[in-house]
Amino acid sequence: MANEDNGAIPPLPGAQGRADDSEHQALTVAHTVLSLASQVLQEPLLAAPETLDPAVAQERMAAAERAAVTKLGQLRREERGMVAIHQVEVMQMQIGIARALLRETARRRQTATLHRVQQSLRRLRGANTVAELVKRAPEEISRLGFNRALFSRVQHAQWIAVSGYSRTDANLADAMVEAGSSAPRQLTRALVETDMIRHRTPLLIRDAPKHPRTHPELIEVTGTHAYVAAPLVSRGNVVGLLHADENEETGTVDLVDREMLNLFSEGLGSIVERTVFYEQLSSLKQQLTDHASTVHDLIDEFVQSDLGSLLPAGSAAHAVPRPPVLTPSRNALPYYPDDTTPLGTLTRREMEVLRHLANGEANAEIAAQLFVSDGTVKSHVKHLLRKLGATNRAEAVSRYHYFMQQRREA
């Protein structure tokens, strides 16, 4: 116990509360104050543990402050003397200073956290597809200050790891994904993440190896002692899970880390919604483009077949030599109607395009010779690939030669 003759209590390191005090300094002050409080207030339970995180420090400091108020009232009732009362009053002031330092540190850490989350989300807004978001998300989580991160999707009540990131070991990232995807876990009461999904609230698991409801394979692969997790919500549904551990500054995770990951998850959910909407619009645009190309093709063929007969003889249009052009109705008919091979399903125009492809011509060259647009040629190529069952132009040409050989041998 402190010397009762003069009521002196040793000065605290960094207790002046400078604005640039680090979190380490604040925790050192808190540890010292709690040790002194346990002696002065004769409350052994107030003594700080060997390792102290900000959340536990705040809880212990609040308890110390309550104990000081109780002790001071007791001393005054018992009229124990001014020395003892002065000691407790000084202790109260030091507890207040330590709590103020912790609050200031927490405020600055939250400000820095918000800035990092905003930066990460800003980078992810540049993604064009959901697949790209899924791939990049773990690395952006790591940039928040975590050494390892995992992105998982929730599908049919299963937890399936999709992408991971490790600052120190790229192989570990692959191992995490393998452990979480080779045998997907059913989201039942056996997993604590099920509660997270049900309540849509983030998790902080402090003693992961001993927790009865953690993912055993992931815990074994990572060797993690504590982790934070948050649900990814899009369009009102939990579509994924985010996990992270090992804050690079503290070596563990705490409540601030949990809230930081949750804040990131909320922002990512909004980006996912926007990206899904963008992909749907892009798909619709492509469908409309394909449809417009088909219509444009029909108009081109109609104009080419009928415009010449509407112009007076000797006009510039007649002066330009043109290849013979079939009418739209004939162009739409099969070129080989009696053919039992896929060639029999091709229209005359599609056969023309296929022959040009067989000659090694590009879309622009084919368009110039057929007096149609590049988009029209692309539309014909798409249709003939589908009819021939080919996946690319080279395969279509190969099938063309094969089927033509069959016709010659028949």
Identify whether residues 152 and 240 lie together within a single domain. yes
Task: Output the six-digit token pair for 270.
Answer: 């909004």
Using the 3D structure, point to which of 251, 278, 305 is the last residue of a domain.
Answer: 278
In degrees, rounded to 5, the angle at the alpha carbon of residue 102 between the alpha carbons of residues 71 and 13 is 80
d(C-alpha 68, C-alpha 63), whole Å: 9
Q: What confidence score (pLDDT) does residue 317 get?
A: 46
Q: How many angstroms from the chain centroid is the CA of residue 402?
A: 48
d(C-alpha 180, C-alpha 161), whole Å: 5
Residue 287 resides in a domain: no
Q: What confidence score (pLDDT) does residue 329 get?
A: 44
3 state SS of 223: coil
Identify whether residues 140 and 190 lie together within a single domain. yes
Identify whether residues 78 and 180 lie together within a single domain. no
The pLDDT tens digits along the chain (410 residues) read 334 444 444 554 444 333 334 677 888 888 888 888 888 888 887 777 777 777 788 888 888 888 889 888 888 888 777 888 888 888 888 888 888 888 888 788 778 888 889 999 999 998 889 999 999 999 999 999 999 999 999 998 999 999 999 998 989 999 999 999 988 899 999 999 999 999 999 999 999 999 999 999 999 999 999 999 999 999 889 999 999 998 887 788 988 899 999 999 999 999 999 998 888 888 888 778 767 766 766 666 555 555 545 555 555 444 445 444 444 444 444 566 667 788 888 888 889 999 999 999 999 899 888 878 888 889 889 989 999 999 999 999 999 998 888 888 76
d(C-alpha 381, C-alpha 362), whole Å: 11
Q: How many angstroms from the chain centroid is the CA of residue 124?
A: 8
Q: Identify the DSSP state of 253.
A: -
Per-residue model confidence as pLDDT tens digits over 282-324: 888 877 876 776 676 666 655 555 554 555 555 544 444 544 4
Number of domains in the chain: 3
Residue 283 resides in a domain: no
Identify whether residues 346 and 218 lie together within a single domain. no
Residue 11 resides in a domain: no
Residue 163 resides in a domain: yes
Check the CA dihedral 153-158-164-166 and report its sign.
Answer: positive
Q: What confidence score (pLDDT) does residue 189 get?
A: 92
Q: What confidence score (pLDDT) does residue 205 get?
A: 95
Q: What confidence score (pLDDT) does residue 3 get?
A: 41
Identify whether residues 72 and 202 lie together within a single domain. no
Q: Which domain holds residue 328?
A: 323-409
Identify whether residues 269 and 139 lie together within a single domain. yes
Identify whether residues 110 and 138 lie together within a single domain. no
Residue 348 resides in a domain: yes
Identify whether residues 91 and 220 lie together within a single domain. no
d(C-alpha 260, C-alpha 238), whole Å: 18
Q: What confidence score (pLDDT) does residue 171 get?
A: 93
Dihedral, 77, 81, 86, 91 alpha carbons, nearest 10: -60
Q: CATH number, domain at 221?
A: 3.30.450.40
Strand partners, 152: 161, 241
- Whole-prediction pTM: 0.58
Using the 3D structure, point to which of 89, 115, 141 is the last residue of a domain.
Answer: 115
Task: Output the six-digit token pair for 26.
Answer: 């604040």
d(C-alpha 149, C-alpha 248), whole Å: 12
Identify whether residues 136 and 240 lie together within a single domain. yes
CA atoms lying within 13 Å on the CB side of residue 349:
30
In b/e form, how buried is each residue of 245-256, taking b as 16+ CB within 10 angstroms? bbbeebebbbbb
Task: Output the six-digit token pair for 11.
Answer: 């000065």
Name which of 1, 71, 63 is nearest 34 in CA terms.
Answer: 63
Residue 228 resides in a domain: yes
Residue 334 resides in a domain: yes
Using the 3D structure, point to which of 86, 115, 144 is the last residue of a domain.
Answer: 115
Tokens 């492809």 map to which residue? 357
Task: Output the six-digit token pair for 55.
Answer: 């959340």
Q: CATH number, domain at 367?
A: 1.10.10.10
Identify whether residues 137 and 236 lie together within a single domain. yes
Identify whether residues 273 and 365 lie together within a single domain. no
Identify whether residues 152 and 263 lie together within a single domain. yes
Residue 13 resides in a domain: no
d(C-alpha 249, C-alpha 66), whole Å: 31
